[in-house]
A = this chain, B = another copy of it.
């Protein structure tokens, strides 16, 4: 199921880190846990900086989404409608990532923030 590059003997932690590298990948997955979302919804609302962060650049979001799709974490569904409508949702593999992110979330909530 689409595991990109299976580096021979590399460290799992490092491999994981590389997979979710980038400022937004983890947050995207986390934000999709309850339901699929459209491109614009992910962009606005979810990633707009509550803490002063700027809105994510379209180009960046595109790349992160594409990377996640290529990694088999997300699925992209194009409805072929007009105006354009594309929805992103978690795959099974993506869902399996949620507990991991949750542990990060909880730790961060306790020790940081």
- Answer whether A27 and B13 are a contact pair too, CB < 8 Å, given A100-B103, A107-B96: yes
Closest to A53 in B: B10
Min C-beta distance of A52 to chain B, whole Å: 8
A59 adjacent to chain B (CB < 8 Å): no
A-side interface size class: 35 or more
- Taken together, the copies of this chain in the complex come to 2
Determine which residue in A10, A16, A97, A109 has the highest number of CB atoms from chain B within 10 A of its CB, and name it.
Answer: A16
Q: Which B residues touch A12, using CB under 8 A?
A: 104-109, 112-113
Q: Which B residues touch A27, using CB under 8 A?
A: 11, 13-14
Q: Which B residues touch A112, using CB under 8 A?
A: 3, 6-7, 12, 15-16, 19
- Answer whether A107 and B97 are a contact pair too, CB < 8 Å, given A11-B27, A13-B30, A50-B9: yes
Q: Which B residues touch A111, using CB under 8 A?
A: 1, 3, 93, 96
Question: Closest 7 interchain pairs by CB?
Answer: A12-B108, A16-B108, A15-B112, A10-B51, A12-B109, A16-B104, A100-B103
